[in-house]
Chains A and B, each alone.
Chain A
């Protein structure tokens, strides 16, 4: 297509004549450039001279097909078949496409069968014929999935014989992509583009491939495709969907309408428009489009699969399941429909029905890696326990059920009580909470694929998340993650799942910070540098930071930025305003407008006010992080380090520490801390100074640093343990217990921590909590089980729970019958029982 310009020039200058190769090339060039109208007009003129020109008839048919003139297209293809010329198989293939678009599935299948028959009986088929055979094989693969492999082989054969056949290359890429083999699809599209880097459909294929990989480059590739063919309907449709993913519905509508101007019968464009109406709560508009689609094609399940897919992307899982159900009612071979139905049923906690539908989907489309992964995960569900208590159903792997169940339930109940009051709302119960000890399993549960970087996900009444075993110690606080996801449960429930992603994420992080000191992330130098460099997004575009980040840290920055927005709103307008906004989202078409209305600000003023808030909040740090003209060019030294620049002070402090110059290191690290007191990461001045003070045997100073650190950063396990030890050293047992309890939110598998905590709680006579810790010790399968049972029995006894104490002491003595302390406790329990002392 490198010569499009030349061909277009020819198209404008050459007189109309018989269908010569040059004329056909000219028309093809117009078609590729999207000038369908001119191509049709000029083609019809030529046809008047050459009414039986097969190639011309075919081209006109394709143009009419692309512009929605289905009857005309069908006539052209029919005529080609009647003339029985060289193009009959391709014409049959195109005729089948017309039937398919009208919903005439049997007629389409008949054409495909005839093509297959020709393939099996005729020798010497051309590459164009084989292309048609491959297309027919691909379509018939819907009922016989093994045929997809054959279709790929036939396409390969075509391309081996005719490597310059770009249409076949693009079709092969689309087939591979359709069957989830994006790696090879991408290679095929790149191969086509290496031959013609301006081919609109190849660029569209590349965009779809990038979109498959969640790459933000998909937008640029789509726009490039449209720059060469502004009327390429599938590209407009893709662009519209990309806008929907960003919740930019007005832009999406514009693209869908442009597509419909070219092809008013485009089912994909109409379905996309239906999605927009649905997401904008425009029921009347939606029904109108729905009726229009079904009038054009009464069996078009694609309308409902798209609605299901996009609803799920917008967290509308119940609607997604409903639409998917309609898809399979309309087309019993809609494997995608069964898959979407099953996936969304699982998200809604309908485990058995979901699994059955996934199995149905997989039987018809065994290439779907999402479904395959999810079914494999479902096979492992028998290894999990489901425990119903209070408002929750907690699902835990058998290996960690005994240890974690109590902690999960306790925290979940706390969250439920807190959020019910705070939001004055009761979500649907029970809330299902699933924890996965293997991150890959959680990842599959969330999106169907391993490798997603999330910690947790809330589908509404169902929360799934990593268990603490799934992550490196010190990189994850399961308590704050659970709190975050339960906040989502309330946000989604209050809004009928109609809350912008940035809003829900930011508010959930903000709720973490409200819940416990140290939860909810903390500011780091990278975030403030991004602000200084103008890389943080304005609030109106904050969704992009979550959906399509433009730099690696943008997602994390967007979470934190969004959380600050709520700190800003609550400080300025109060929490009632946040509640009111959530309520308004439920019925709103324009989420951003809801926000602006509630705050009585326009978009620019809001951005400016937020910036002012941020600059005020971090005024010292921002100043200390801003670049300086006086920056030293060479090696940092006490003489060259700028006293008001954080990095100068911090780097020099760490250098001096490494060199063993502790006194000077303390000086510079302390200064760094003054310049950026909000930063408490694992490499922060707090940690370094605490270690420095411990070395100097200055426990008070070390404790002060560690206390400040964990108040900001609740993910540093060692800091918690060190702080607990220091507090014990000072006799602050309650403080030590609180710190160890906080440490359990990071890593609950350390037996010694549970033992220490049990001892501390016992010395505080908090027997019920001490018993919880003793139960945890047992759950961790200690070598000395007799001792663990004895300690639990003793704790139960002190808590007044004698029946449990008896049970545990019998367990202890069953292992160690001569365990003298346990024997004495047994006798004491028996004496108490015999004397009728009251028990719990």
Chain B
């Protein structure tokens, strides 16, 4: 089911079908060494490519890099960063969604944390104040830097998804989280629910688990604990989930540019899609009752719903093709 139409229709349930635009600001901070410079720029480039593949308009992707001479990049000093946010504010619609991804090093002193840029670093407060300019727009902010934990408290707000690579300012070793977060979009494996899109929750979960696996494999003590906050309380969760304190919003937000492509679909197809949404909801409802049901009854009922869904999906695919 790789067709554009099906992908568009699948997105109907969770995304506004109008011309909602995604804006992506990628900041590749100061590397300090050649190895990190390359690593950060590579992550930024991979993410840009993934965003393009996900349908983001080229003009809606802004790349700032501290140490790159590539044509796609603008300087990544603090003023440039603040300017880029103001530009997004001026061009983004009120319903648009903005992704801000910080890739680089950071440091913290007490509750105050910084993201390292050429010239003056930017603090969580300064970044928070700049992002507040974007008003009620839905924001996804990911800080993959070391000591990024304190950013979560300052940046968290309603209708925002905030991720940090570390749980506190004391986790100062260069984290692995950022690389795996980018891989979630650029490689296979993160699409847990097989809907051919990567939600922010899936990306976070993929990165978190791969970080753990990497440390385990090297027999090292885990020195980074990523957080996600999407309920606005600024606490952040180590293991967010669809039904957990944090994770509900992140489960519904994708990097993929939503499309308004339902126009032109036949009434039969729309009816099938509506039925499909009902079946998906029934499955979700059943899963919530799982703990209270006998195991065999639960799986018999699940199988029945899944078969209905599978048959319907087959029909939709056939119609699409």
A binding-site residues for B, Cβ under 8 Å: 472-473, 749-751, 781-787, 806-807, 810, 813-820, 822-824, 826-827, 830
Contact = CB atoms under 8 A, between A and B. Distances in A.
A814 B191 CA distance: 14
Contacts of B111: none
The 10 A-B residue pairs whose C-beta atoms are closest, nearest first, are A819-B194, A823-B310, A816-B194, A816-B193, A783-B209, A813-B306, A783-B206, A784-B189, A817-B283, A827-B310
A440 to B, nearest CB: 15
B94 interface: no
B2 to A, nearest CB: 10
B217 A749 contact: yes
A472 B287 CA distance: 41
Interface stretch (B45-53, B76-84, B138-146, B311-319): B311-319
Contact of A820 (B210, B216, B313): B313
24 contacts: A749-B217, A751-B213, A781-B209, A783-B189, A783-B205, A784-B188, A810-B302, A813-B302, A813-B310, A815-B192, A816-B195, A817-B193, A817-B280, A818-B194, A819-B193, A820-B1, A820-B317, A823-B309, A823-B310, A823-B314, A826-B303, A826-B306, A827-B307, A827-B311
Interface string B285-304: 00100000000000100110
Contacts of A473: 219
Contact of B307 (A784, A815, A830): A830
Contact of B210 (A783, A817, A826, A830): A783
A817 B317 CA distance: 15
Chain B interface mostly helix, strand, loop or mixed?
A: helix
Contacts of A816: 191-195
B85 interface: no
Contacts of A749: 216-217
Contact of A823 (B189, B191, B195, B306): B306
B217 A750 contact: yes
B252 to A, nearest CB: 15
B314 A784 contact: no
A472 to B, nearest CB: 7
B249 interface: no
Say whether chain A's binding surface is mostly helix, strand, loop, or mixed: helix
B193 A786 contact: yes
B190 interface: yes
B303 A810 contact: yes
B191 A784 contact: yes
Contacts of B209: 781, 783
Nearest to B311: A827
A786 B217 contact: no
Nearest to A790: B194
Given A473-B219, A815-B193, A817-B283, 8 more contacts: A783-B189, A810-B299, A813-B302, A818-B309, A823-B310, A824-B310, A824-B314, A826-B303
A781 B188 CA distance: 16
A827 B192 contact: no
A817 B299 contact: no
Contacts of B54: none
Contacts of B1: 820
Contacts of A785: 192
B90 to A, nearest CB: 38
A826 B310 contact: yes
Nearest to B193: A816
A818 B217 contact: no
B268 to A, nearest CB: 19
B302 A814 contact: yes
A783 B303 CA distance: 23
Given A749-B216, A783-B209, A827-B311, A810 B306 contact: yes
Contacts of A813: 302, 306, 310
A813 B287 CA distance: 12
A818 B302 contact: no
B174 interface: no
Given A827-B310, A830-B307, A820 B194 contact: yes
B10 interface: yes
A68 B193 CA distance: 84
A174 B306 CA distance: 75
Nearest to B309: A817
